[in-house]
Chain A
Amino acid sequence: MLIVGAGPAGLAAAIRLAQLTADEPELATRLGDVPVAVLEQGKTPGAHLLSGAVIDPGPLSRLLGDVEFPSYGEVRSESVLYLTSDRAWRLPTPPTMRNRGKKIVSLAKLGRFLAERAEELGATIIPETVGQQLLVENGVVVGVRTGDRGRGRDGAELRRFEAGGEIRARVTILAEGTQGHLTLTALEAFDLAGPNPQTWALGVKEVWRVAAPLDRVIHTMGWPLRPESRFREFGGAFIYPLGNDMVTVGMVVGLDYRDAGVSVHDLLQQLKTHPSIRPIFAGGERIAWGAKTIPEGGFAALPKAFHAPGLLLCGDGVGLVNVPALKGVHYAVESGRLAAEAAWAATTTGEVARLADYDASLRTSFLWRDLRRVRNVRQGFARGFRRGVITAGVATLTRGLLPPGTSPTDADASHEIFTTTRAASYPAPDGLLTFDKLSSVFLSGNRTRDDQPNHIRLATRVPLELGTLWARMCPSHVYELQPADDGLVTVDIVASNCVQCGAITAKGGRLTPPEGDSGPEYTIT
């Protein structure tokens, strides 16, 4: 069995499969020499994992039995703040965001832990390896072709070229996370996508060593995002304590914003300068930075089906994220577990049709219920903050009965854009509290090999406004604009800065995986 992606979904699947294998070893022999293999693009599991995160520990605890996973303790206290440029108002915590009893974790650390656990149980983790293509024979997925390593910028084979290989498996489980390459391909190729397009938010976060402990989990709304509906700036910030000496802060903004001047990285820097927030970081030191997109389409954007012959799809890759509650990790874990069980049943009985049981088990799971209940909340905000609050309120009070039906989503790249003077308000990096993008990319541990083919598919002669949108949007300074003829610009792509957040895919381009061991090396994000 092949799992692509060593994140919470993939590792949960690996652990569950390993547990099932241990329970019935005779059946396990049917799975071949390497019964469970997990492909991971990054240098190690966890290197590409980034989240807040406050997670619901239930599914993970149930999966691991009496083994405790690493966390920074339970949420004891929380605040939701509405910010203006100089003030902060405490709001009552919306029911969807109540986090008492949930656990604060670093997903990058959790990934390492789960990988160790999976290996102890017998799974084989294959790091620095990209799932490049699905192997399909007679309409059935029979495995994955891995990516090449050692091509030059022009695609030619360098001296140390190593071609990818084929891994054949009875069942392939895709757990690639947001903008998963094989997942996006599979959704198209097998016509699995639902009627509504997926939409995303971009999250940029930092981890700080701080002088004084933070005593609560904080979520903010409002400034520096603008509430007027014409801007469509949906999102907010999170600030979580990681033990007594560290804090993580992140800014999450929906990619359906309209102003080409929006830069989530710079909004994060701006947020830290707020008079109520600045003191948290005084005397501290920034020790990590990263960025990643989060699927926001929710229930409306889920695929029609989560399986195809020989194939199962889990986690963020298919949008299993509860946006109002900011929760997705435990759904990833649960979907991984359910996928493992369906894969096991299909393989050990030989009845390949049993893969469809996965869909059924998802639909009867708590995660389906949760997502259904909040299905219209995010779309409400697509019409501006006030409208969104009202819709959210109604949906929450009626537990999803109202508004009726499911509001459609619009693709992030389908909107008209304009430019305001927003960028002028971003703070100039001072190297102490606020930072530029290049030094941030450095702090993500990114040491991508330069001499390899560009992995970002993009039109490179575009109108200035679109080029500006991309350049500002990208947290890693991948896109540089040069003037070209007739009012267009040429977009230079500095691919080796890319931390593979996936934002470009939401906005008219396509992120594909660079060679293995490229991108960030997150340790505590």
Chain B
Amino acid sequence: MKIAVCVKAVPDAFGRRIDPATFRLDRTGDLSLSEYDAHPVEEALRLRESNGGEVIVVSLGPERAADALRKTLAMGADRSVLVSDGAFAGADLLATAHALAGALRRETADLILFGQQSADGDGACLWAAVAESLRLPVISQVSEITVVDGGLVGRRQTEFGYERIRVPLPAVVAVSDAINEPRYPSLKGIMGAKAKPQEVIGADDVGGEGASGTSVLSVSTPPARARGRRIEGTSDPAQDIVDYLVKERLL
């Protein structure tokens, strides 16, 4: 089974800032593998363990993202493909989906995996966009994958309960972090990662830049979550709470 995992290298949660010139996330510091993306990588490795095949990691980012991708190779992925081109700086969902779809077309994978969210909040629902681009079926919020004849069944978690959805391959699946616990790279894995192929491709290789459809206009600091109401020394604080909840329509 040829499995492509789409991942993102993001600035560490702690140091995230907005670049005041571009209003986009400042990506000049350390970049590491988005914590949500370790799960699809782990799932791909497990699927390869039971079904054979190859695990390729695909990402869109600056050249420095290669270090973050190396971690996936240390975990056991076979090779990585990084789409890196100045034209994609600040790419929004449309442009990112276009770039990833272009890279994925070169690979013709049986299964394309995504993590459930992007740790920096920029990549919401890429899986559905990429699936549409490639005209493939998609399932999201998958907490369990079972391979069946000609396809797979995903257990999908929604707000209301769960569903089992069957898709033929090739397909796109976004997995939630409930699906597995990603392995730590072994020492051997870490030391062998450098030798694995890490390809870097540009806009031309993925069919041009694609167009963004949105813009960021300005950034401001909202008033900090202000102190709200205070209840102290009243005769029936529990009743006060009920009254508050009713008034705020929280019940």
Chain A positions near chain B (C-beta within 8 angstroms)? 34, 37, 43-44, 112, 124, 126, 128-129, 146, 149-150, 158-160, 162, 164-165, 167, 442-443, 445, 447, 521, 523
Given A160-B181, A160-B182, A162-B184, check contact A445 B191 (CB 8 Å). no
- B186 and A165 contacting across the interface, CB-CB below 8 Å: yes
Give 27 CB contacts A-B under 8 Å. Answer: A34-B191, A43-B30, A43-B32, A44-B30, A44-B32, A112-B30, A124-B191, A126-B190, A129-B190, A149-B184, A150-B184, A158-B181, A159-B181, A160-B183, A162-B185, A162-B186, A165-B187, A442-B14, A443-B14, A445-B12, A445-B15, A447-B13, A521-B14, A521-B30, A523-B15, A523-B29, A523-B30
Minimum C-beta distance from A207 to chain B (A): 12
Minimum C-beta distance from B165 to chain A (A): 26
B188 is an interface residue with CB less than 8 A from chain A: yes
- B187 and A160 contacting across the interface, CB-CB below 8 Å: no
Q: List chain B residues, Cβ under 8 A from A162.
A: 183-186
Interface string of B161-189 (1 = CB under 8 A from A): 00000000000000000000111111110
Complexed CA–CA distance, A159 and B30 (Å): 29
Complexed CA–CA distance, A126 and B192 (Å): 11
Minimum C-beta distance from A126 to chain B (A): 5
Q: List chain B residues, Cβ under 8 A from A159.
A: 181
Minimum C-beta distance from A168 to chain B (A): 12
Closest to B181 in A: A160
B105 is an interface residue with CB less than 8 A from chain A: no
Q: List chain B residues, Cβ under 8 A from A128.
A: 184
Task: List 14 other contacts, CB 8 Å, given A158-B181, A165-B186.
Answer: A124-B194, A129-B190, A146-B187, A150-B184, A160-B182, A160-B183, A160-B184, A164-B187, A443-B14, A445-B14, A445-B15, A521-B14, A523-B15, A523-B30
Q: List chain B residues, Cβ under 8 A from A126.
A: 187, 190-191
Complexed CA–CA distance, A523 and B29 (Å): 8
Closest to A127 in B: B190
Interface string of B19-54 (1 = CB under 8 A from A): 000000000011010000000000000000000000
Complexed CA–CA distance, A445 and B183 (Å): 23
| CB-based closest 8 A-B pairs | A165-B187, A162-B184, A149-B184, A160-B181, A445-B14, A126-B190, A159-B181, A160-B183
Q: List chain A residues, Cβ under 8 A from B191.
A: 34, 37, 124, 126
Complexed CA–CA distance, A164 and B190 (Å): 12
Q: List chain A residues, Cβ under 8 A from B30.
A: 43-44, 112, 521, 523
Which of A129, A158, A164 is packed against the most chain B CB atoms within 10 Å? A129
Q: List chain A residues, Cβ under 8 A from B186.
A: 162, 165
Minimum C-beta distance from B39 to chain A (A): 12
Closest to A44 in B: B30
Closest to B30 in A: A44
Minimum C-beta distance from A105 to chain B (A): 17
Complexed CA–CA distance, A471 and B29 (Å): 34
Q: List chain A residues, Cβ under 8 A from B188.
A: 165
Complexed CA–CA distance, A43 and B71 (Å): 11
